[in-house]
Structure 1
Amino acid sequence: MKVTTARLTQHVLTGRTDGEPVLFVHGNVSSSAFWRDSVAALPEGYRPLAVDLRGFGESDPEPVDATRGLRDYSDDLAELVQALGLDRVHLVGWSLGGGVVLRFLRDHPAAVRSVTLVNPVSPYGFGGTEGPDGRLTHPDGTGAGAGATNPDFVARLKAGDMSDESPTSPRNVFRSSYMKHPDVPDEDFYVRSMLTTHVAESNYPGDAVTSPEWPGVAPGKIGVLNALAPTHFRLDDLHEIDPKPPILWIRGADDVIVSDTSLFDLAHLGALGVVPGSPGTPAQPMVTQTRAVLERYGRYREVVLEDCGHSPHIERPADFHGLLTAHLGEA
């Protein structure tokens, strides 16, 4: 269904229309389609809804003001929740969506019944930080932002490339990075979802800015990847909210995207010698940072799924749905 608010029109994938609302929020370069099976698997007593974030799927490609961090997305969710008259939602956020639901939780704690994080982005954004406290490597956030993405991947995404002819094709990125094991049923379905990403400077990836420091890129002011930069998105005060809904953190042990040694982190790639000229900048310890923030928050549980990558809800659906359903019931 489509829901129009003052901010934009959002597409929402739905299941049954009664029960406690469970709002699923997808990750970067994907859409609500990645939650298809989770929406279908939710038991009676729950009302599943999976939203397309702005610039993804069938929602409007409104510009992303990166200087607000992820608040454009979380404010969209707040209007959606209000428009549908949802009372105290369960939030489920994957990757980028994990950051979005944490931003929503920080701003609207009383509106949240529970939170489930699935391989979420660090509360200190993506790239440009060091240590468990998320300190900036450089004041301008060098190492993060739209300039850190692969230009060939962006070009192929914009062209709607369904092939597997290049390591940077969306299909091969799905196989090598979204999943640990590439033999996923309905692969075409998920790749088509990736291709709904609106490629533009104001959406994905954003405006690229240069920096005099290695690796030569810094966050811009518009677009998805810049909204994830640590100069714009930081949640080190999550423990201050009241009330504190319970948080379940599910992650694949072998995730190569959100990791303490992420293959998408320029600092770690520099240490591996993939990006030349590295001065030895430490990798961003993304998992460690998330754990540090949740330890301060207090009311959370971490579950690690072995032999699983970035997408537990697709790679290990039975385990994921069992954990989610139990968490919803406990909440």
Structure 2
Amino acid sequence: MLHTKKIKTPSLTQHIITNDVSSDEVVLFIHGNASSSVFWEEQMEMLPPNYRSIAVDLRGYGETEPVVHDATQGCLQWATDILELMDELKVEKCHVVGHSMGGSAVYNLLTIAPDRIVSATLVAPASPFGFGGTKDEIGTPCYSDFAGSGGGTVNAEFARRMKEGDTSEEDPNASPRVVMNSFYWKPPFRPAREEKLLLSMISERVGEDAYPGDFVASENWPNVAPGIYGPVNASSPKYAIPAAEKLMKSGIQTPILWVRGSDDQIVSDNSFFEMGTLGKLGLIPGYPGEEVYPSQPMIAQTRYVLEKLKEGGATYKEVVIEETGHTPYIEKPSEFAAVFHTHLKETA
């Protein structure tokens, strides 16, 4: 049975879901953007009984204390929050699982505390080079100011509806429910837990210092560059690229499982949430062309970094689950669990 708890750590009070099993085999689940620990409940309940499971609401999400997210640290702040949580819960080592943006927290955990990570599972992870603003597999920025990434790239109407807790299907382009059912999974799939997952989605803290964060004007297309607050800025290559460079030099030996959906429209080489793709489709005016600003090759970038880690001694396995979108662990839970549980057993 799963329980919720509030855990006070040095930096903030964190909300977790846990099965409270007494075991040294611990699995820590990390959610993505516009979601919370709730997204992991089904997989937590499917774990073999000898595992202790913990899912955390990251800073800025769910029921964790609503404190400011300093984006200039990139996703490192989430990683340090998680390490503080592990210390409070007396978890010396664990398996970590990160979905989407949560994958970026995993990258940072692997860099700063590899000795505390038994294995890593990346589920539809964001590119190690960040979201938006880069143009090739090695993460070369399109512009020196990283224009086209950060808080200014988020649909303002979507953010407004998130803040107001909109659960309607009123706006086909910006209602959270429509976005979730169109992009989180591959239509026409709709989960049995749709209402609970939607409430989890809109629980994210919204504001200039939260989601989507602030931005600055840029002379470069699309005329916005990253600011200094919130998760979307933290995911900008301005702050992610230095972290990726540290990761590639880290020499980690951690076994990594990379699972993604075959039809992911959020993290892909032609993401419908990335400025290069939107510009190419004529949805953002003034597009400078593919030579200047192509679609970000997110899958190629992730594979490039994992291959670099492999050269240094790490191991990784890539698994593609067919006929799924951005959340294969929700769309095909049994198929995902089979691959995931095998990884846990092989790396225990």
- Give the TM-score normalised by structure 2: 0.93
Q: What amino acid sits opposite 1:104 in the alignment?
A: L
Q: What amino acid sits opposite 2:300 in the alignment?
A: T
> For the residues of structure 2 that align with 1:260 and 1:34, how far apart are their CA atoms?
25
Name the structure 1 match of 2:339: 323
**Across the two proteins, how many residue pairs are aligned to each other?**
331
Name the structure 2 match of 1:218: 225
Aligned pairs for 1:158-307 (under 5 A) are 158-167=163-172, 168-181=174-187, 182-234=189-241, 235-280=244-289, 281-298=293-310, 299-307=315-323
Q: What amino acid sits opposite 2:22 in the alignment?
A: D
Flag structure 2 segments of 5+ consecutive residues without an equivalent.
none
> For the residues of structure 2 that align with 1:105 and 1:252, how far apart are their CA atoms?
23
Say whether the 8 Å CA contact 2:252–2:309 is kept in structure 1.
no
Instruction: Give the Å deviation of 1:243.
Output: 4.2
Say whether the 8 Å CA contact 1:202–1:223 is kept in structure 2.
yes
Q: What amino acid sits opposite 2:336 in the alignment?
A: F
Say whether the 8 Å CA contact 2:124–2:258 is kept in structure 1.
yes
> For the residues of structure 2 that align with 1:116 and 1:39, how far apart are their CA atoms?
14
Instruction: Give the Å deviation of 1:184.
Output: 1.7
- Counterpart of 1:236 in 2: which secondary structure? helix
> For the residues of structure 2 that align with 1:89 and 1:294, how far apart are their CA atoms?
20
Say whether the 8 Å CA contact 1:3–1:10 is kept in structure 2.
yes
> For the residues of structure 1 that align with 2:150 and 2:248, how far apart are their CA atoms?
27
Q: Cα RMSD between the aligned structures?
A: 1.0
Instruction: Give the Å deviation of 1:240.
Output: 2.9
Say whether the 8 Å CA contact 1:35–1:50 is kept in structure 2.
yes
Instruction: Give the Å deviation of 1:242.
Output: 4.3
Name the structure 2 match of 1:47: 52
> For the residues of structure 2 that align with 1:243 and 1:330, how far apart are their CA atoms?
18
> For the residues of structure 2 that align with 1:323 and 1:49, how far apart are their CA atoms?
19
Say whether the 8 Å CA contact 1:123–1:236 is kept in structure 2.
no
Please tell me whether residue 314 in structure 1 is matched to residue 330 in structure 2. yes
* Deviation digits for residues 157-208 of structure 1 (CA, Å, limit 9, x no counterpart): 0000000111211100100010102422121111000111011111111002
> For the residues of structure 1 that align with 2:109 and 2:86, how far apart are their CA atoms?
11
> For the residues of structure 2 that align with 1:10 and 1:61, how far apart are their CA atoms?
9
Following TM superposition, where does structure 1 have runs of at least 4 consecutive aligned residues deviating by more than 3 angstroms? none
Please tell me whether residue 129 in structure 1 is matched to residue 134 in structure 2. yes
Flag structure 1 segments of 5+ consecutive residues without an equivalent.
none
Name the structure 2 match of 1:27: 32
Q: What amino acid sits opposite 2:14 in the alignment?
A: Q
Name the structure 1 match of 2:114: 109
Percent pairwise identity = 46
> For the residues of structure 1 that align with 2:212 and 2:336, how far apart are their CA atoms?
29
- Counterpart of 1:238 in 2: which secondary structure? helix
Q: What amino acid sits opposite 1:7 in the alignment?
A: S
> For the residues of structure 1 that align with 2:167 and 2:248, how far apart are their CA atoms?
43
* Deviation digits for residues 105-131 of structure 1 (CA, Å, limit 9, x no counterpart): 111100100000000000000000010
